[in-house]
A and B are shown apart, each in its own frame.
Chain A
Amino acid sequence: MRLKEIIRLLDAVIITNSRDYEAEIEWACATDLMSDVLYYSRGNSVLITGLAKQQAIRTSDIADIKVVVFTRGKEPDTHTIELARKKKITLLITPYSMFTACGKLYERGLRCCPE
């Protein structure tokens, strides 16, 4: 799924982005637990999380995740935004809950990272 479509479907606010809006994102991972991101995710995926903290960005950087979406309109602090910018991670905020965000992306064909 293209980044611009993820943004559109999730009515997301763009906090940081240095990526082409046409960039293809292959997989999705939805969790608040960082070890599960590390265990199940693949590179080039989008992480949907309610953990609107630096840890989510740090973990995504380690796991080569390119796009992070914070749910329920949670605003991260400046350290989190700064880290995302430095690590060239696209950071989005969606007003939707994780359930609705997963539903909207799944409905349009995005799938979770294969094991």
Chain B
Amino acid sequence: MKLKEIAEILSLRPLTPVEGLEREVSGAYVGDLLSDVMANAGEGNLWITLQTHVNIVAVAVFKNLSAIVIVNGRMPDSDTMDKAVSEDIPILLTGKSAFETAGKLYQILNAQNLQG
């Protein structure tokens, strides 16, 4: 499923250039401990987190994640944004919690898999 479709359904607000929204999302991972995400997130996953500091971009690049969704209305640091743009990692925001964002996305991705 395209990131763009997910962003529309969940009303996510992209902070990075819109071209990034054409990416395919393979699944999702929720986590705030970078070591955990490094060890366990899958390639192409959309990463749902509360973390905002610059290291999240490095993790996303290293693990080839499709995008980062920052929850609870948290704003990323400015150096995080600079790095996300230069490394071409989409960052999207939502005012909703990780639980709700994950809950809804799980249903969307499941429905998609059933159709596919």
Contacts and interface: CB of A to CB of B under 8 A. Distances in A.
Contacts of A106: 99-100, 102-104, 106-107
Given A50-B36, A102-B106, A105-B103, A29 B30 contact: no
Contacts of A50: 31-33, 36
Contact of A30 (B27, B33, B99, B105): B99
Given A31-B32, A36-B50, A97-B30, A107 B102 contact: no
Interface in B50-91: 50-51, 72
26 contacts: A29-B97, A29-B99, A30-B102, A32-B31, A33-B32, A33-B50, A36-B72, A40-B72, A40-B97, A50-B36, A97-B29, A97-B40, A98-B30, A99-B27, A99-B29, A99-B106, A102-B30, A102-B102, A102-B106, A103-B103, A103-B105, A103-B106, A105-B103, A106-B99, A106-B106, A107-B107
Instruction: Rank and list the top 8 A-B pairs by shortest CB-CB distance, nearest first.
Output: A106-B103, A103-B106, A102-B102, A32-B32, A112-B99, A98-B30, A30-B99, A112-B97
